[in-house]
Amino acid sequence: MTRFSSHYEIALCGGGGVGKSALVLKFVKGQFVEEYDPTIEDLYRHQFHVDGKSTCLEILDTAGQDEFRAIRDQMLHLGQGFLLLFSVTDRGSFQELTSSYEAIQRSKDFESVPLVVVGTKCDLVDRRQISPEEGKAQADLWGAEYVETSALDNINVQECFAMVVRQLRAIEDEKENGSKKGKGKKSKRQSGSKDESKKKKSLLNQAQCTIL
């Protein structure tokens, strides 16, 4: 049986105003924050259970504003899994997904990136501009999962984080099974782990760290 990691690093990506901070604050504090200062970088730690197993998430809430894009791209190197957010009430934020997706791909040197596309603000039914079918089609194009959330109504808030954790565990399971077949081989993720650890030590100094 695979021994899953007890700690994962998750990055939230997406344009400004899509509700990244509202989602993560609802997840870690159980509170809905309607107004929040534009984020440069915030780092949160939160422990919860996925399928009966405890895990601690280190969650990086990345900047959505264009002026912070260089910092965002640097911090993406720290993420093991990603939530790619847009607002279902804003077609512009949906169109911005591609640039965020490409930034994630640039930050990683391996093909399989745990990714969940998240349509936020699904409670605003009368203002919806993106249908669930359109959102899922885009996620399918990238080989990602799709879910819609509402921080206000607490819809799928925990589930979207659980989805990316399950993807990370699936990769660990596959890696362990593969190592039994050929212990001399290293995956790209393994070979790059030391370099990413060094980057983390220097880059985390740029983020505000909140432990909850």
Residue 60, pLDDT > 70, answer yes
Residue 99, pLDDT > 70, answer yes
Residue 164, pLDDT > 80, answer yes
In Å, the largest CA–CA distance within the chain is 56
133-140 contacts at long range (C-beta below 8 A, 24 or more positions apart): 134/94, 135/86, 135/88, 135/94, 138/94, 138/97
Higher pLDDT, 41 or 62: 62
Q: Is 32 inside any structural domain? A: no
Q: Return the top range by mean pLDDT from 20-24, 38-42, 110-114, 137-141.
A: 137-141
Q: Is 2 inside any structural domain? A: no
- In angstroms, the CA 124 to CA 38 distance is 22
pLDDT single digits (tens) 109-162: 666 789 999 999 999 999 999 999 999 999 999 999 999 999 999 999 999 999
Which secondary structure element, helix H or strand E, spans residue 120, and what is its range?
strand 115-120
Q: Is 110 inside any structural domain? A: yes
Q: Is 89 inside any structural domain? A: yes
Amino acid 63: pLDDT? 61
pLDDT single digits (tens) 165-191: 999 999 898 887 776 666 544 444 444
- In angstroms, the CA 95 to CA 110 distance is 25
Number of compact structural domains in the chain:
1
Q: Is 123 inside any structural domain? A: yes
Residues making up the chain, counted from first to last: 212
Q: Is 82 inside any structural domain? A: yes
Amino acid 176: pLDDT? 79
Amino acid 67: pLDDT? 45
Contact 50, 166 (CB under 8 A): yes
Specify the 3-state DSSP secondary structure of 170. Answer: helix
Q: Is 118 inside any structural domain? A: yes
Q: Which two tokens stand for residue 141?
A: 């194009």
| Domain encompassing residue 161 | 7-27+38-211
Strand 208-211 relative to strand 41-50, pairing:
parallel
- In angstroms, the CA 62 to CA 41 distance is 5
Residue 39, pLDDT > 70, answer no
44 φ, ψ to 5°? -125, 150
Amino acid 168: pLDDT? 94
- The pLDDT of 45-74, averaged and rounded, is 77
Q: Is 1 inside any structural domain? A: no
CATH, residue 60: 3.40.50.300
